[in-house]
Chains A and B, each alone.
Chain A
């Protein structure tokens, strides 16, 4: 079987170029070290590690080869070279390898760096007794002094528990002749290894003998050094001399916005928890739950995640396929967009909202079309999407597309149209140029879309509130602005609020003003209309996730509750620690999604909740969209009324935390 390595030719080419730069390795003519920087000359005196320029070799293959030749394998060096770990002090570059890596871009140098397999070796006699006697020849007939190589990564796992082991197949791979039968590579039988001997092997491994170590430098007195010395006296440790050498100088940037942006990761603003200066009691920061997708970019996590250190929470696979889109709506939400399965949203509860002006925005949007230059779009398409030459299309040819398809994507900065939609908008004479059958979306140039936005599409939302025009304070800036406005004659152009200087309170004028009896303020102004979440919870208080948790905890039959997202990350609330339900809660959303998929096959209707009745208690999960609620019961089951209420709450709260692709 041949393996295809991407960019292998490229690496070979770069490698050969680099080797050509450093000179032929096998050149036997003496080279006078003239006109070389001192750093290079020093590095030449360091023993070059020729093996590091070779590609890594599979230790097992080597062992098998040596076994076939009948040679006795030697230990890979560590045991014998324990005393040879002399630390070489050097001030220059790091030898031929170092010179090469400095010449090459870091990514290429890293790719060319050989990957050394970590191995240890043991005498065959050390493990013969642990091997299944039925599978091997009589022990007396086997040369016990043979050494076998073991991958350290395989043995390390067992070291933690004091029982290192290796698979039988690994041993078979190296010494097949001692076996009576062949062992399949997939054979899971394990052979235990002597702990102490394995530990000795690990301990005897030494770093490469040609390592360079930098020179010690005097230390500057810093607050860290002060604490270091204090800690040394506390812990009885000593401070090693600081070593540094030929490192590139510190790159310095002036404090421009770009420099700060480049240096600092973009932190999400509101979720910070801070240690207050002077608070010496807390040793670990108080953590708050924070919703962010696993890779920090709000995109799907990579598929290949090693199992050894996988995610702490399950990843919602269902949400990975669709890209997150930022809703971009300019019109007021219409009733048509409101979910229909919300019986608790009665006309009374939403009466104030119903009075909102509801324009037939959707209908209007459907009518609005945007015309874009066809030639530009066709030129931007991939060749497989085209049937002919786009240059034959005249520059004035246009394609008219429904604006409703484009508007929601404007905020994302990337506008794509389904091939079918695009074909429908094409003028008949140019339809033959476009392959409708191709699945790839048609990308529209953003600048063209923005240039050709229909005027009717850009209007303010209907439900915007007009702020009251307040009085402006006179400041040096406002005076300057007034001057500028006069100078540039732009008073009329700026729709500024009237500039007023705060007048001194004229007591006398107030006295003259007839006292107007205070009119009772309408009740509707005192109590703002409830939003659907407040309706579901049954309170007038302003609610956030924590507030909702507090309200739910007051319900009959609910001992405690917690909200978590579909990917298992916690939103608010907590369950009693004695139940240790963190793992269950993290898994519950994915479990419910699975169950919900199967509910489609039944006639039981949509899934409303999932109750787990256990010997020490019961817990019910409710889920809607991307939000899940876990409620621990106080005693028996929850009443129907409470269940309904919790369903509604989850439903309403999920709207706040779920991004719908518009």
Chain B
């Protein structure tokens, strides 16, 4: 869920890049970090194994625009794609606001894509969230490779739910459509937020904390 800071007039959205191992989630974040204006981004934090595989998550904070008097900030996370790191994925998915599912377009990765998507549904369900309630887009990554499945088939495999979501043909190594997919999710979130009427204009009243301990009768007599 989004975190709203009345004091600094900020709202934070959490976007998670999800997908099978080695599909290019971290490459997405690397490209975003490289391309976005340094004024609008923080440091890219990465925890990885020696073999350059994401171990815990990658994290990149980004600033966006002011809506309703709030500076909107986006926190981008990736999950480790390897099957065994499911507990970590569940942790990273906590309170997610939007998602980008990165699918590997290669034929031999099709089964892993399906497994990963099912895993995403399962992990969200464990948090009592349906994937239909979360804004997400699909990225068909590695479109520059030779042994890739046609987009029709990827759509059939991954975008065959009742609600059709936007999908992008992406080459994350060059950056093609990396921002298009991020833009799509962020726009949906901003749109949702701007439509929302339950955002209080004023912060909740601060709780009064007494600065001095009440002086008891006995103490005042002693003084």
Contacts and interface: CB of A to CB of B under 8 A. Distances in A.
Nearest to A569: B49
B188 A242 contact: yes
Contacts of B174: 235
A227 B35 contact: yes
Contact of B135 (A199, A235, A244, A264): A244
Given A95-B162, A160-B107, A222-B64, A309 B83 contact: yes
A232 B1 CA distance: 31
Size range of the chain A interface in the assembly: 35 or more
A290 B57 CA distance: 12
Interface in A258-293: 259-260, 262-268, 271-278, 280, 282-285, 287-290, 292
A23 interface: no
A94 interface: yes
Interface string B126-140: 101110111100000
B95 to A, nearest CB: 4
A273 B178 CA distance: 23
A568 to B, nearest CB: 9
B187 A219 contact: yes
B84 A301 contact: yes
B152 interface: yes
Interface in B118-169: 121-122, 124-126, 128-130, 132-135, 147, 149-150, 152-153, 155-157, 159-164, 166
A631 B33 CA distance: 38
Given A205-B153, A212-B162, A249-B192, A221 B65 contact: yes
A297 B87 contact: yes
Interface in B68-99: 77, 80-88, 91-92, 94-95, 97
A446 to B, nearest CB: 24
B49 A312 contact: yes
Contacts of A333: none
Contacts of A484: 213
B176 A274 contact: no
Contact of A159 (B7, B107, B155): B107
A192 B213 CA distance: 86
Chain A interface main SS type:
loop
A222 B190 contact: yes
B74 to A, nearest CB: 8
B37 A223 contact: yes
Given A106-B128, A240-B166, A290-B48, A208 B160 contact: yes
Nearest to A307: B83
B204 interface: yes
Contact of B180 (A118, A221, A240): A240
Given A156-B108, A274-B44, A107 B126 contact: yes
Interface residues of B, number: 123
B193 A212 contact: no
A312 B80 CA distance: 12
A243 B81 CA distance: 27
Contacts of B102: none
B85 A220 contact: no
Contact of A202 (B4, B81, B111, B150): B150
Contacts of B166: 240, 242-243
Nearest to A97: B162
A132 B155 CA distance: 36
A566 to B, nearest CB: 15
Of A106, A118, A204, which is in contact with the most chain B CB atoms at under 10 Å from its CB? A106
Contacts of A59: none
A315 B83 CA distance: 13
B210 interface: no
B164 to A, nearest CB: 4
Contact of A254 (B4, B124, B179, B188): B4
Interface string A494-533: 0000000000000000000000000000000000000000
Given A203-B150, A203-B153, A277-B38, A225 B94 contact: no
A244 B132 contact: no
Contacts of A310: 83-84
Contacts of B184: 240, 242
B28 to A, nearest CB: 11
Of A223, A268, A277, which is in contact with the most chain B CB atoms at under 10 Å from its CB? A223
Interface string B9-48: 0011110000011000011001101111110111111111
A153 B97 CA distance: 32
Interface in A182-223: 199, 202-208, 210-214, 217, 219-223
Given A206-B152, A263-B3, A248 B177 contact: no
Contact of B65 (A207, A222, A262, A284): A222
25 contacts: A98-B162, A105-B128, A110-B130, A118-B114, A159-B108, A160-B107, A202-B150, A205-B153, A207-B156, A213-B163, A220-B65, A222-B183, A227-B35, A228-B182, A242-B166, A247-B192, A263-B12, A264-B94, A275-B44, A277-B41, A284-B26, A287-B52, A288-B50, A296-B55, A570-B51
Given A228-B180, A265-B57, 8 more contacts: A222-B190, A228-B182, A244-B191, A250-B13, A250-B196, A255-B7, A262-B94, A308-B111
Interface of B: 1-7, 11-14, 20-21, 26-27, 30-31, 33-38, 40-53, 55-59, 62-65, 67, 77, 80-88, 91-92, 94-95, 97, 106-108, 110-112, 114-115, 121-122, 124-126, 128-130, 132-135, 147, 149-150, 152-153, 155-157, 159-164, 166, 174-180, 182-184, 186-196, 198-199, 204, 213, 219
